[in-house]
């Protein structure tokens, strides 16, 4: 039996789409689970959509995600282990190709596509088409006016004689090669996710295979490459499902065995429309920029269309667990709603699991972008101070971009109306006395005893039955806010001097 081989075949259009991350993650999980080879191939034949630098960026994003592939295109680091066939990429300097089935960049395989396109013409499965864009546009307009689906009318197949064709070729008239889609046929295949899928070929247009610039279309290139690279499983988004009958027609025409197909459910906005840039971010880097952790993004994306089933309620999965539990046949058919609240929850779970040192390291770049941090006095920018702030915030953070946002009083001087200090019906005198009392308690605590536990114990003891009377004015004097973490936590972060200073100022008020 052939070795199982699965590929991720992105087009370099500028960034890693969150849907592509799901596809590549499922490729990876499937490969790990089944011991398959995992190949990265770059589909860069659509020159209009190509964005310079995006191939390199794409590889970096995949490396960032930690999804290792065995074959295809790599950056130097990736192929440090000595592979037999490493070559420097001609198209994308700074990247390397490794594997027996290269080149893994489609724009370097143009001769192959031409060869198969011409073979298809010879065998009568494809034909030259010399129609100019103007004619095609007019045809489309007529069809849409008559409420018909746009389809090429086969003018060049039926109305041109062989002599005319030869003459035009000799004169180098611009032309494409089109697939001659057989009429009145039912194309049927077994999709790993969707089960039996059927298409009537009468609704399938005579797809262009080779464009006038000599580049193949996706349809020709994907079939040729998946075949020549011995790919056994094609995992891709549902948006490619309507293309699959064309691919199957091509496999048949070329006398090749098609791979197994698994079409992953569409990603939907909460209103069930297709996930789009207009309703939110779609690039993976947008999410990391907002302070979502890699592990959380991957965990979330894994659940977009899959769960372990059998009443399992587990939602947090390590990569090892995903590999162990993932099963392609468990992928859902129904569209997967992209629920940002769920991502927030998963992210908060991962944030809780970080050590303080890790959290500090990851949060620092986000602090460094905030004015309240930039303008804070140096003693409130130390690692030690930030770690205290983070220790308080860790349990409540949904994403790292929120660090410090709701607790700016840790960094800035505060200002507030003196009414804030009053607890319920308390009088001004009571409030002042209460603040004086806390001040006395805190003054007696030495710097080395200034711990969260001590502060809590001593202040609770001083407050006795009437907690609010003591704790509210204290908390308000330290934060200047209606809502904040507890006064013990705030006092602990601020330290003895700053806490006493703030209480002193409140007493003056």
Query: Per rule CB under 6 A, is residue 325 in the interface with ligand GLU?
Result: no
Closer to ligand GLU by Cβ: residue 10 or 308: 10
Closer to ligand GLU by Cβ: residue 103 or 308: 103
Query: Per rule CB under 6 A, is residue 328 in the interface with ligand GLU?
Result: no
**From residue 357 to residue 376, what is the string marking binding to ligand GLU with x (rule CB under 6 A)?**
--------------------
- Least distance CB 247 / ligand GLU (angstroms): 8
Please give the backbone phi and psi of residue 210, each rounded to the nearest 5 degrees, phi first.
-125, 130
For residues 128 and 121, the answer to whether their CB atoms sit within 8 Å is yes
Beta-strand relationship, 176-179 and 208-210: antiparallel
Residue among 289, 298, 402, 290 nearest 346 (CA): 298
Binding segment (CB under 6 A) for ligand GLU, from list 8-16, 148-156, 264-272, 442-450: 8-16
Residue among 240, 264, 262, 265 nearest 190 (CA): 262
Q: Residue 242 contacts by C-beta under 8 Å, 6 or more apart in sequence?
A: 199
Query: Per rule CB under 6 A, is residue 245 in the interface with ligand GLU?
Result: no
- Least distance CB 23 / ligand GLU (angstroms): 7
For residues 91 and 139, the answer to whether their CB atoms sit within 8 Å is no
Query: Per rule CB under 6 A, is residue 43 in the interface with ligand GLU?
Result: yes
**How many binding residues for ligand GLU (CB under 6 A)?**
8
**From residue 53 to residue 72, what is the string marking binding to ligand GLU with x (rule CB under 6 A)?**
--------------------
Query: Per rule CB under 6 A, is residue 388 in the interface with ligand GLU?
Result: no
Q: Residue 434 contacts by C-beta under 8 Å, 6 or more apart in sequence?
A: 423, 426, 469, 470, 473, 474
Residue among 401, 303, 269 nearest 348 (CA): 401
Q: Is there a catalytic annotation at residue 277?
A: yes
Binding segment (CB under 6 A) for ligand GLU, from list 7-15, 76-84, 402-410, 494-502: 7-15
Task: Give the strands of the sheet with 126-129, arranged side by side.
Answer: 126-129, 176-179, 208-210
- Least distance CB 41 / ligand GLU (angstroms): 9
Query: Per rule CB under 6 A, is residue 25 in the interface with ligand GLU?
Result: no
- In the chain, the N- to C-terminal Cα span, in Å, equals 84
**Token pair of 459 as six digits:** 């202040």
Closer to ligand GLU by Cβ: residue 38 or 411: 38
Query: Per rule CB under 6 A, is residue 476 in the interface with ligand GLU?
Result: no
Query: Per rule CB under 6 A, is residue 298 in the interface with ligand GLU?
Result: no
Q: How far apart are CA 131 and CA 412, in angstroms?
A: 70
Q: Residue 195 contacts by C-beta under 8 Å, 6 or more apart in sequence?
A: none
Closer to ligand GLU by Cβ: residue 240 or 345: 240
Query: Per rule CB under 6 A, is residue 222 in the interface with ligand GLU?
Result: yes
Q: DSSP readout, 233-245?
A: EEEEEGGGGGGHH
Binding segment (CB under 6 A) for ligand GLU, from list 3-11, 86-94, 389-397, 494-502: 3-11
Query: Per rule CB under 6 A, is residue 293 in the interface with ligand GLU?
Result: no
Q: Which of 274, 277, 352, 466 is catalytic?
A: 277
**Token pair of 30 as six digits:** 């499937």
- Cα distances (angstroms) measured from residue 148 to each of 139, 143, 145: 11, 5, 8
- Least distance CB 311 / ligand GLU (angstroms): 33
Bridge partners, residue 97, by sequence: 73, 87
Q: Residue 324 contacts by C-beta under 8 Å, 6 or more apart in sequence?
A: 33
Q: Residue 111 contacts by C-beta under 8 Å, 6 or more apart in sequence?
A: none
Closer to ligand GLU by Cβ: residue 97 or 295: 97
**Of the candidate residues 236, 325, 399, 502, the single one contacting ligand GLU (CB under 6 A):** 236
Closer to ligand GLU by Cβ: residue 17 or 175: 17
Query: Per rule CB under 6 A, is residue 10 in the interface with ligand GLU?
Result: yes
Closer to ligand GLU by Cβ: residue 197 or 433: 197
Q: How far apart are CA 171 and CA 174, in angstroms?
A: 9
Cis previous bond, 103, omega within 30: yes
- Least distance CB 234 / ligand GLU (angstroms): 6
- Least distance CB 173 / ligand GLU (angstroms): 30
**Of the candidate residues 6, 11, 92, 493, the single one contacting ligand GLU (CB under 6 A):** 11
Closer to ligand GLU by Cβ: residue 240 or 251: 240
Q: DSSP letter at 100? A: T
**Of the candidate residues 50, 155, 189, 240, the single one contacting ligand GLU (CB under 6 A):** 240
Query: Per rule CB under 6 A, is residue 9 in the interface with ligand GLU?
Result: yes
Closer to ligand GLU by Cβ: residue 32 or 219: 219
Q: Look at residue 458 and give its three-state secondary structure.
A: helix
- Least distance CB 9 / ligand GLU (angstroms): 4
H/E/C letters for each residue in 105-158?
Answer: EHHHCHHHHHHHHHHHHHCCCEEEECCCHHHHHHHHHHHHHCCCCCCCCCHHHH
Query: Per rule CB under 6 A, is residue 45 in the interface with ligand GLU?
Result: no
Closer to ligand GLU by Cβ: residue 225 or 295: 225
Query: Per rule CB under 6 A, is residue 259 in the interface with ligand GLU?
Result: no
Which residues are catalytically annotated? Answer: 277
Kindly list the residues in this chain that would bind ligand GLU in the complex (CB under 6 A).
Answer: 9-11, 43, 222, 234, 236, 240
């Amino acid at each position: 039996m052939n070795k199982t081989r699965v590929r991720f075949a992105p087009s370099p259009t500028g960034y890693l789409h969150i849907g592509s991350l799901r596809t590549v993650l499922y490729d990876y999980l499937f490969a790990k689970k089944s011991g398959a080879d995992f190949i990265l191939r770059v589909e860069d034949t659509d020159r209009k959509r190509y964005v310079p630098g995006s191939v390199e960026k794409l590889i970096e994003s995949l490396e960032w995600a930690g999804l290792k592939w065995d074959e295809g295109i790599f950056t130097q680091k990736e192929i440090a282990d000595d592979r037999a066939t490493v070559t420097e990429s001609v198209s994308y300097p700074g990247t390397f190709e490794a594997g027996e089935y290269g080149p893994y960049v489609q724009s370097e395989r143009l001769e192959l596509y031409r060869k198969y396109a011409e073979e298809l013409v010879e065998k009568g499965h494809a034909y030259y088409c010399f129609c100019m864009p103007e004619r095609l546009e007019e045809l489309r307009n007529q069809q849409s006016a008559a409420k018909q689906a746009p389809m090429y009318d086969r003018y060049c197949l039926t109305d041109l004689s062989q002599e005319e064709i030869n003459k035009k070729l000799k004169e180098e008239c611009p032309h494409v090669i089109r697939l001659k889609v057989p009429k009145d046929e039912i194309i049927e295949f077994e999709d790993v996710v969707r089960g039996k899928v059927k298409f009537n070929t009468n609704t399938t247009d005579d797809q262009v295979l080779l464009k006038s610039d000599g580049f193949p279309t996706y349809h020709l290139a994907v079939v040729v490459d998946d075949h020549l690279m011995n790919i056994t499983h094609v995992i891709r988004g549902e948006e490619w499902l309507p293309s699959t009958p064309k691919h199957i027609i091509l496999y048949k025409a070329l006398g090749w065995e098609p791979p197994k197909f698994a079409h992953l459910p569409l990603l939907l906005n909460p209103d069930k429309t297709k996930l789009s840039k207009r309703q939110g971010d779609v690039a993976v880097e947008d999410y990391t920029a907002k302070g979502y952790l890699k592990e959380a993004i991957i965990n979330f994306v894994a659940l977009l269309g899959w769960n372990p089933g059998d009443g399992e309620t587990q939602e947090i999965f390590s990569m090892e667990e995903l590999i162990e539990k993932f099963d392609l046949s468990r992928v859902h058919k129904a569209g997967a709603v992209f629920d940002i609240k769920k991502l927030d929850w998963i992210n908060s779970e991962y944030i809780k699991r970080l050590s303080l040192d890790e959290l500090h390291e990851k949060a620092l770049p986000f602090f460094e972008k905030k004015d309240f941090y930039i303008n804070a006095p140096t003693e409130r920018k130390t690692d030690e101070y930030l770690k205290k702030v983070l220790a308080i915030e860790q349990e409540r953070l949904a994403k790292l971009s929120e660090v410090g946002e709701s607790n700016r009083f840790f960094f800035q001087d505060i200002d507030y109306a003196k009414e804030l200090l009053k607890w319920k019906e308390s009088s001004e005198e009571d409030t002042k006395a209460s603040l004086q009392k806390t001040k006395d308690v805190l003054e007696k605590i030495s710097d080395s005893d200034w711990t969260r536990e001590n502060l809590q114990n001593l202040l609770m003891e001083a407050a006795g039955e009437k907690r609010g009377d003591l704790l509210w004015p204290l908390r308000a004097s330290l934060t200047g806010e209606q809502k904040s973490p507890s006064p013990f936590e705030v006092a602990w972060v601020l330290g003895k001097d700053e806490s006493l200073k703030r209480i002193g100022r409140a007493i003056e008020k």
